[in-house]
A and B are shown apart, each in its own frame.
Chain A
Amino acid sequence: MISQLFILSSKGDRLVYRNFRGDGGDDVTDAFYRAVTSLPGDQAPVFMAREGQHFVHVRHGGLYVGATTTADTSPFVLVEFLNRLVTLLREHCGTLSEKSVSVNVALVQELLGEMVDFGYVQTTATEVLRSATHGEPETTKAFSLLDLRSVGLFGAETQQSRVAPGSVTNRPVLPPRGEQGGRREVFVDVVERLTVVIAANGTPLKVDVQGEIRLKSFVPGACELRMGLTEELSVGTEEQCGYGRLPLAAVAFHSSVDLEEFEQERVLRVTPGPGEVTLMRYQLAEDVAVPLPFRLLPSVEWEPAGRLRIHLKLRCDLPPKNHAINVVLQLPLPREASSLAQELSSPEQTAELQGGGRSLRWAIPRCQGGAQLGAVFRVQLPPTPPLGLGPAALTFELPALTVSGLRLRWLRLSAPPGAPPGPPQRWVRHLTHSDSYVVRL
């Protein structure tokens, strides 16, 4: 059960506070902020027991979204709920920031009133909330078509979206009441996260692909959506995994997904209301050979007087028509390096020392499939016996590509009766980003 719920700014100012069960004092937010800021580094911040209270919180957009709770509550309920709350606030306020929350306090309070009663979570479904709430969101920034240039994904925590959030989806899902016109759009994203560990000899030790299909709808009212997935898909490891099959180890669907046609046709059917929903989460079976996008060929030489010469060759094994963006290679160094000399193959690349010289960062903004990039670094280290380097960690994004090969073949929308003419705009995007891509040296 949720006793109190609050949203605090990064400085601890109370933005939203709601006491659902009438117990506990008003000073919980101060107690929470004290607790969270004085927490020792090795303790997990998610749950804290302080002064007889149990705090749970998640951090998003610099805000603390937190709650106090009783001991017999499921921690999963709390964390799930807080994450849903964050999603809903994004949907209703556009972005989640100190500003957008404080402007929409009345709306947020109204939402909370419907979502939680006496500490029991009632609903987090956008369409239900839509019918039960009456407040109008105040946008903090006028939505502009010009922002469409930098289309970012709404859900995936990619490097790109973290730095400069694509603002196309950063607007309230709900058009202002009475304006039927709004932009009617449906976004479907297939996002895969790649976790790879490559041994020093180049053999992959671990390749793990997790993916999800997300849907964000800006279409008011219900409309039926059907999407066809790659037909080679097979679920469960027991099945025959013949050549060309795409076996998934685990699949979870959102409860709103109709799977009637999935077994035979690999078709998902869903009737989404406005809002964001993760339709499907999947994990690629472990024994599938996934083509790895990057190979790293390092050679390291110790020169006298603690100088280390690192020659890195990075080969991008993507098909030539694809490319990777925001490629960053992090290489931990054995000691604090005092200086760095570099030879890079193109001017847009950069390299620098980070963390007080404890790691080397090589950034490549864009890398075409099939390309091979070379770089030579010389770092000055304190004289110590030779040590191992690494492991090197790569981060990157692969637009318009899913490493597993799972794709959306088609997406069909049938408009509800009485909808304005013309089909809503449909956007299908594929993307792979590195969750953890580690090359051992």
Chain B
Amino acid sequence: MTDSKYFTTTKKGEIFELKAELNSDKKEKKKEAVKKVIASMTVGKDVSALFPDVVNCMQTDNLELKKLVYLYLMNYAKSQPDMAIMAVNTFVKDCEDPNPLIRALAVRTMGCIRVDKITEYLCEPLRKCLKDEDPYVRKTAAVCVAKLHDINAQLVEDQGFLDTLKDLISDSNPMVVANAVAALSEIAESHPSSNLLDLNPQSINKLLTALNECTEWGQIFILDCLANYMPKDDREAQSICERVTPRLSHANSAVVLSAVKVLMKFMEMLSKDLDYYGTLLKKLAPPLVTLLSAEPELQYVALRNINLIVQKRPEILKHEMKVFFVKYNDPIYVKLEKLDIMIRLASQANIAQVLAELKEYATEVDVDFVRKAVRAIGRCAIKVEQSAERCVSTLLDLIQTKVNYVVQEAIVVIKDIFRKYPNKYESVIATLCENLDSLDEPEARAAMIWIVGEYAERIDNADELLESFLEGFHDESTQVQLQLLTAIVKLFLKKPTETQELVQQVLSLATQDSDNPDLRDRGYIYWRLLSTDPVAAKEVVLAEKPLISEETDLIEPTLLDELICYIGTLASVYHKPPSAFVEGSRGVVHKSLPPRTGSSESAESPDAAPSAGQAAEQPAVIPAQGDLLGDLLNLDLGPPVSGPPLAASSVQMGAVDLLGGGLDSLLRSDVGGSPAMGGSGFTAPGPAAPAAMGAPLGSGLGDLFDLTGGVGTLSGSYVAPKTVWLPAMKAKGLEISGTFSRQVGSICMDLVLTNKALQVMSDFAIQFNRNSFGLAPAAPLQVHAPLAPNQSVEISLPLNTVGSVMKMDPLNNLQVAVKNNIDVFYFSTLYPLHILFVEDGKMERQMFLATWKDIPNENEAQFQIKDCSLNADAVSSKLQGSNIFTIAKRNVEGQDMLYQSLKLTNGIWVLAELRIQPSNPSFTDLELSLKCRAPEVSQYVYQAYDAILKN
């Protein structure tokens, strides 16, 4: 007989041939023909055309042939129900056959034919078979009830088969018991409410007895059924445990695990103080360990389950670390699981051993595994604090190997270690930086960039490093782009003076040239944050980050408890509860562990602490400070204007220029509420003629500029006349007078330096002490030529508000140090607060109303502005020039009420109500009420009002 005989293609001719053979008189030939048909059917060929001919062969006393025909029937009956009826008589007859094998075969097959008409005929034979004298027939019939229930549940109930099935639980034959249990368990699942299984101490006792005599597979059914039982008290739980424990040494791993499952569940009810509890715990470890010497597939399943058990009850396997050490010939999926469990079991006691292993793994050949091993070292460092130092040095050793993927993986985990132990291991940064060039994977690049940004102040060439990444910005992955953006913003906030250009570049790359919404949005958030309030930006971006939690990859305790109930089901392999992957009709009953009785402990497992601080990839996010966020959202921004910032950054500008008109106005220029765009790039103090300035730019900017500039606020806010700040006698002949101005969003300190000494002065420099609003020079003091005796020079020093903040008294006090080639001189001056009023300080009406109500009355301050004879409109426009915006005007009883808002550079809003009485010329005092969440500024706001209105 050749093997290809069954496997020729079913051409039409062949079907005919088979037909002829099936109808042959010779039994042997018939059998061979049916075999051929089965062979064709098995490989998926359609031989349904032979249905009647095959069914004709059914009437035979050859059991082998009969089985084959039945197999054929099971397969095709559904597609040919009418023909299948032809077989019913034979089935019914076979159910009466003296040979139990044939009786069982008939019942088994009939249950598998899902044709209603046949099902009707099944009931009587099934009833008989359930009470058959032969256990083989009974066990088959028990399963058949489940089959019938699957087809027609109502029929099964009506016919009373369920009761018969229940009786079979007390059958003398353990295999019948096991099948009855299996069938009932399945039926019970579709009737969660019915008490089908009716487990009680008596029936449990019967099951436990059958357990000892059953085949291995039957034992599993019974054990799984036991796992659903809820013992009355801890004593009953213990007695069941005692009788289940011997199953732990069974050779069939499925039996072992089903037993483990029962024990794990019932252990919950035992008191931990009980001696028996400890004994039981000890007994659980060896069978779990033994599973690890089985076939790799079983090992894998075992490891997935052990992973859960270890998280729930680390004590069971805490001394078994060695069995989880990886063998070099394990399949990769087993290796990875073992690695995971090793980390979970790592503790101070065994960390040295674990680290030594991990280091060895990191030199293996399999790249995936090596990566995971390196990662594992990082997780050890985070988990076991005492080992962190050793882990870091191990990682450094690995970096020294220069093996590309090892280096990259090591850098990724070192980033995490930095986040767990900030300011502890920066000494390694230098080593990391050496490997910058070899990083080609996004995750490693992102990690490195994060490190550079985070420790920018300690890396001398941080700006160069980041700049080098910026060159290929658009070729980077999103992860790297986002990280680069954040890192450069951090760098800027830490070293503002040198990195202006860089931050501008990255902001424009992120917002204009990128299609990625995440990147763009983050870019805009930083941009606005920097432009509206650098101090807040600093607080936000450089905020202290929450430490990453010890085990971010720990399964959440509630989920873990649920999964423990599913030990030994697929859920334990996927590590997901069935609800997460089961589809369709099968009801998913949420399982939970039984409550512990007789135990003093209220809550179990303190080890399963909630995994707090799920640190996101990107640490720099806006903190949940309501007011700040509120302000951010209240910006009332129009759609982003994409023109000016790009144009501005492309204009050639010197450092001073950039600083002067540059950054602040640039940053501000996309704020839709402000018409002050286009002014960017100009340092000219005082009002500038827009048209004249527009022309030399020679770019599209001119047009834009014409459109938007030239009106309104370009005139700038009120500038007080210069006063002498530092008299010559105090400063060895240097006299400094000056004032403050605000031009299109940039603050300037306008200085006049006069040399009243007899020698030439040079090498000027200026520095501010920390002050209330973080005012700081945005550029060095530039005196281009040495200052000859009796000569004066006018300088406009651009300021920004990203310097260090310290509350001064009075609030607007500014201490300044000026140095020249002669000496260093100190003076202090008061700056008018209105230089800090930002251009987008106009609040929405509703917002104003809400905020006004929201601010408590005790924060309200009343002032009188004396001798001001201006009418309401004049007041309004005058104030608007200094960024105090009138939101509404009302006339009440002959008095004009102006409602105004302004915002300080640090995001503080001040709301004002100004009462003017134009009808009464003799009464020229204005009444000002200010409301602000920071009431201490009110006083200085009033001074600003007073100064502006009186000039």
Contact = CB atoms under 8 A, between A and B. Distances in A.
Nearest to B179: A120
Contacts of B327: 195, 435-436
Interface string A128-164: 0000101100101000000000000000000000000
Give the interface SS of chain A, mostly helix, strand, loop or mixed: mixed
B42 A15 contact: yes
Interface in A210-232: 210
A358 interface: yes
A46 B297 CA distance: 6
B583 A76 contact: no
A334 interface: yes
Contacts of B3: 99, 102-103, 138, 140
Nearest to B105: A113
Interface of B: 1, 3, 6-7, 35, 38-39, 42-44, 63-64, 67-68, 71, 75, 78, 101, 108, 111-112, 114, 139-140, 143-144, 146-147, 150, 175, 179, 182, 186, 189, 215-217, 220-221, 224, 249-254, 256-258, 286-287, 289-290, 293, 295, 297-298, 300-302, 304, 322-323, 325, 327-330, 332-333, 336-337, 360, 363-365, 368, 400-403, 568-574, 578, 581-584, 586
A120 B44 contact: no
A254 B322 CA distance: 26
A74 B325 contact: no
Question: Would you list the 3 A-B pairs with minimal beta carbon distance, nearest first?
Answer: A44-B333, A436-B327, A76-B254
Interface range on chain A: under 10, 10 to 19, 20 to 34, or 35 or more?
A: 35 or more
A83 interface: yes
Nearest to B256: A76
Contacts of B112: 22, 118
Interface string A238-261: 000000000001111111000000
A71 B250 contact: no
Interface stretch (A181-189, A361-369, A387-395): A387-395
Interface of A: 1, 13-17, 19, 21-22, 26, 29, 41-47, 49, 52, 54, 58, 69-77, 79-83, 99, 102-103, 105-106, 109-110, 113, 117-118, 120-125, 132, 134-135, 138, 140, 193, 195, 197, 206, 208, 210, 249-255, 278, 281, 283, 286, 332, 334, 355, 358-359, 384-385, 387-388, 390-391, 393, 395, 435-436, 438, 440
A83 B360 contact: no
Nearest to B330: A436
Contacts of B254: 74, 76-77, 79-81
Contacts of A210: 293
Nearest to A358: B365
Contacts of A83: 295, 297-298
6 contacts: A22-B150, A44-B337, A71-B578, A81-B254, A210-B293, A387-B401
A49 B574 contact: yes
Contact of B298 (A76, A121, A253): A76
A44, A195, A438, A440 interface centre (most CB from chain B within 10 Å): A44
Given A117-B108, A334-B401, A79 B298 contact: yes
Contacts of B217: 77, 81, 120-124
B224 A74 contact: yes
A150 B775 CA distance: 91
Nearest to B215: A123
A42 B328 contact: no
B42 A105 contact: yes
A76 B301 contact: yes
Give the interface SS of chain B, mostly helix, strand, loop or mixed: helix
B354 to A, nearest CB: 12
B348 to A, nearest CB: 20
Given A83-B297, A118-B147, 14 more contacts: A22-B114, A41-B368, A42-B332, A46-B333, A52-B584, A54-B581, A76-B568, A77-B220, A105-B42, A193-B293, A208-B323, A255-B251, A388-B401, A391-B360
A176 B224 CA distance: 39
B48 to A, nearest CB: 12
A390 B363 CA distance: 7
A254 B250 CA distance: 7
A109 B71 contact: yes
Contact of A76 (B114, B215, B257, B322): B257
Given A281-B290, A283-B293, A75 B35 contact: no
Contacts of A79: 253-254, 295, 297-298, 301
B44 A17 contact: yes
A74 B400 CA distance: 46
Contacts of B583: 52
Contacts of A99: 3
Nearest to B574: A49
B224 A197 contact: no
Contact of B581 (A1, A69, A71, A135): A71
A138 B1 contact: yes
Given A76-B254, A120-B179, A440 B35 contact: no
A21 B112 CA distance: 7
Contacts of B44: 14, 17, 26, 29
A110 B64 contact: yes
A135 B42 CA distance: 16
Contacts of A395: 329
B143 A436 contact: no
Nearest to B40: A105
Contacts of B332: 41-42
A281 B291 CA distance: 11
